[in-house]
Amino acid sequence: MVLTTAVIMFVVLAITLLLGFPIAISIGISSILAILPSLALDNTLVTGAQRIFSGISNFTLIAIPFFILAGNIMNQGGIAKKLVAFAQSLTGKIPGSLMQTNILANMMFGAISGSATAACAAMGGILLPMEEAEGYDKKLGATANIASAPTGLLIPPSNSLIVYSLVSGGTSVAALFMAGYIPGILWGLGCMLLTLYICKTKGMKGSSNFKLKLVLVTFIDALPSLALIIIVIGGIIKGIFTPTEGSIVAVVYTLVLSMVFYRTITFRSLVDIFAESAKMTGIIVFLIGVSTIMSWVMAFTGVPQAISNLILGLTDNKYVILLLMNLILLFVGTFMDVTPAILIFTPIFLPIVKSFGMSPVQFGIIIVFNLCIGNITPPVGNTLFVGVKVGNLKIEDVMGHLVKYYAVIIVVLMMITYLPIIK
């Protein structure tokens, strides 16, 4: 029964995805068809509906729509240029300073907005024209923007880590948030070091001298935006409020900041922001609900245990097992978005890593890091497509440079996989 269920589930999932079905519909159809040999049709449908309801009836899940709303308010609130100015004041003297600014700004803006594509579009839209005007290699500039955009999915607050917390059985969101900082920053620093090396070999220089006064002025101007991270994450870690309450604090703070302090958002523009946030929330929450059916089907039929036994039967070397998992997740990330992949593969792989003593927190960072790489890889990398569109380029124009960034990012992945202290 286990083999039949697994074959039906993954074959139907693959076929429906290739036919262009939405990922949530594909997961639902494959799950229902996989369990039919074990349950009657009426029982399957009733149980499926119950699982969707139970999957979205989680208090922590309320944090996701509010963080989405806060991110959309900040995206429309005029903070991008302030962050760019601050980042540029720090990197002005470094070779390839505008590209370094882009990477650093992606790290800050991505963390605030919680979206790799938003960071890529906003920062690329501002900095790529500036780079072109100063004679930078257009393809290299777009590549640096694309490669660094996913850092914000690791640097908290991160919706991906909240989803992992739910599906992993309640891993502490605060612990995951704290663990996401170093890997996200290492990803960004790796991109900056590679950019520095490339720009030095090309004989490029910085665009301005380092001026402490300018750093202080731009920092003060950007501080109200940056303070969101300190307030929300600090409050969660200190136990002042829960992640859900923290997301509401984020919405209130961003509304006050954008409507009162910056005055870049009006009541009329809020209608579109609320509508966009509702659409994004609906997609994610429905996906979580449907994925709960798949998780239940796998648990009911013993698929995770069977896969665990298969992998552990191949080798009992935890380093080899982790390498296999990374390769599978890297492959999955090339054609599946972060959220559904977390929902599907966490129940499969988490029991395996627990069997040899790995912390669920460390594994959470590993799986999210892997899948974030998929954001910038073909054929389904959303951030990759946004980045080349913003730069008015084709994918083949950036792939030559992007391969170098992949190498650096994967080195960081190996570090967080095999060095538990880095998380």
- Residue 10 has a pLDDT of 80
Residue found by looking up tokens 């302030």 in the block: 82
Interval 184-192 mean pLDDT:
95
Confidence of residue 363 (pLDDT cuts 50, 70, 90): very high
Total domains in the chain come to 1
Report yes or no on 324 lying in a domain: yes
Other Cβ atoms within 10 Å of 203 Cβ, number: 7
Question: What token pair was written down for 361?
Answer: 């927190």
Residue 202 lies in a domain: yes
Place of tokens 């899948």: 371
Enter the tokens of residue 233.
Answer: 């994450």
Q: Is the pLDDT of residue 72 over 60?
A: yes
Q: Is residue 232 included in any domain, yes or no?
A: yes
Is 117 within a domain?
yes
**Ranges of H-type helices in 134-266:** 138-148, 159-167, 173-201, 212-237, 243-256
Average pLDDT over residues 238-267: 86
Asked if residue 423 is part of any domain, the answer here is no
Proportion of the chain in helix, strand, coil states, percent, rounded to 5: 80, 0, 20
Q: What is the mean pLDDT of residues 274-302?
A: 81
**pTM reported for the whole predicted model:** 0.83
pLDDT band at residue 276 under the 50/70/90 scheme: confident
Residue 320: predicted pLDDT:
92
The reply to whether 368 falls in a domain is yes
107, 102, 108: which is closest to 138 by C-alpha?
A: 102
Question: How many whole angstroms separate alpha carbon 420 and alpha carbon 195?
Answer: 27
Ranking 197-211, 222-236, 264-278 by mean pLDDT, the lowest is 197-211
With a cut of 70, say whether residue 361 has pLDDT above it. Answer: yes
DSSP H helical segments within 238-266, as ranges? 243-256
Supply the pLDDT for residue 417: 93
Residue 356 structural domain:
2-418
**Cis peptide preceding 150, ω within 30 of 0:** no
Question: Could you tell me if 288 and 339 are in contact, meaning their C-beta atoms sit under 8 angstroms apart?
Answer: yes
Residue 173 lies in a domain: yes
Residue 327 belongs to some domain of the structure = yes
